[in-house]
Amino acid sequence: MNRRWHIAAVGVLGAVTVAGVSTARAAQAITSQDLKALQTHLKTDAESWIKGDLSDKDFRATAMKLKRVTYDVKSVGALTPLIRGVTGRSKPQDLYVANRLLRPLLMAKSDAIRRALPTVKQIHRSAGRYKPMPEYLRKVDKMAAPRGKATSLAVVAAIAASQRGLSERQQKAREITLWNEEVHTLKLILYELIVFAADTREDRELLTLLQRSEQAQLYAFIDICETIKKHIRTFDRSRAQAYHKALASLGARLRVRKGRYARHFEYRAHGGKLTPTWQDDYAGIRLLKAANLLAPTAGKSAVVVPTTKQVDAYINRMRK
């Protein structure tokens, strides 16, 4: 069973609300002993997950366990040794466990988050890379995988390059698919933690990553933009001004930009093969709209945002 644990997943830990934060802060932080017990429980879940055998009952039980976890500075000190060893050579199960141990940090105080961030960044640098689907695993049965169907374990199960060694091929493709989905989840957690850290240096780092992701045409650009937009209401005036200045400036430079941003965590069945997916997006429009959302708090005037038709018309004129 393939269940993606997105940041906003119902029943896990969604976007932080003011009430949610105050409740979490009042709760008692998890002990080192309980944290190790939770890790053991998650490892058991992970083995079922990688095989597709994680039941709905076990899924919901784990979600409730995670929802009750609260971290403080001390418990973060117990957390970091449990997850620090996750690298690009790790199994998908290891990243699965680490992501779920990290998720309750989204409800922690800023000081606990700031203490955890170096370890989260270390994991992201080491394990936060998508793995390409090998060519020999990308052939699919056209009847079982209709044209344009998004990645799912049903598509992976449809791999039928040959009957010989089919189960091994399916499992390998499954592991790559699940690894990439967990990498994407890790990235989403990292972006949220940086915003929640409420630290000027971390903000600058996130904005730099935003710009580099756009230059490299990575979907991380869209994810970071959406993360910032989601939490704008938590910004004070000085922070809103810093973000507004950065987004408005970059948006102005990319005003007529239309790019294709790679979704390395998703493949589609197309022409009998699994192919990586892309999302067309108007970078300047996205950035300027985000800047306008920040404008009231930052004390700035809204800027004019071009329409997609205007951008397309400009691009077409430049091609002539």
Reply yes or no on whether the pLDDT at 1 is more than 80. Answer: no
Tokens of 59: 């899924």
Write the pLDDT tens digit of every residue in 23-44: 334 468 999 999 999 999 999 9
Rounded to the nearest 5°, which phi and psi values hold at 54? -75, 115
Chain segment 50-104, per-residue pLDDT in tens: 988 888 999 999 999 999 999 999 999 999 999 999 998 889 999 999 999 999 9
Choice between 49 and 143, residue whose per-residue pLDDT is larger:
49
Q: What per-residue confidence (pLDDT) applies to 142?
A: 43
Exposed, middle or buried: residue 151 (CB in 10 Å: 0-12, 13-18, 19+)? buried
The region that residue 138 occupies, defined by phi over 0 for left and psi between -120 and 50 for alpha, beta otherwise, is: alpha
Closest CA to 16 of 185, 183, 197, 240: 197
Mean pLDDT of 158-182: 72
Burial of 233 (0-12, 13-18, 19+ CB in 10 A): exposed
Give the residue-averaged pLDDT of 217-226.
96
298-304: long-range contacts at Cβ-Cβ below 8 A with a sequence spacing of 24 or more?
Answer: 298/237, 298/240, 298/241, 298/243, 298/244, 299/237, 299/241, 300/241, 300/244, 300/248, 303/248, 303/251, 303/252
Comparing 110 with 272, which gets the higher pLDDT?
Answer: 110
Confidence at 9, pLDDT banded by 50, 70, 90: very low
Sequence-ordered list of residues with C-beta below 8 angstroms from that of 84, at least 6 positions apart, any chain: 119, 122, 123
Inter-CA distances, 171 with 15, 82, 163, 180, Å:
33, 27, 14, 14
Q: Are 258 and 309 in contact (CB under 8 A)?
A: no
Quote the tokens at residue 62. 């784990």
Mean per-residue pLDDT for 129-139? Answer: 82
Q: How confident is the model at residue 3 (pLDDT cuts 50, 70, 90)?
A: very low
Instruction: Give the model confidence (pLDDT) of 247-262 as tens digits.
Output: 999 999 999 999 999 9
Identify the band that residue 140 occupies on the pLDDT scale cut at 50, 70 and 90: low
Res 156: pLDDT: 56
Say what the pLDDT of residue 161 is: 43
Instruction: Kindly compute the dihedral angle of the four CA atoms of residues 17, 20, 25, 31, in this order, to the nearest 10 degrees.
Output: -120
The confidence score (pLDDT) of residue 318 equals: 87
| Cα separation, 184 vs 169, whole angstroms | 23
Which one has a higher pLDDT value, 20 or 105? 105
pTM of this structure:
0.84
CB 127 within 8 A of CB 87: yes
Q: What's residue 274's pLDDT?
A: 76
Residue with tokens 């408005």: 248
| Contact of 101 with 82, CB cutoff 8 Å | yes
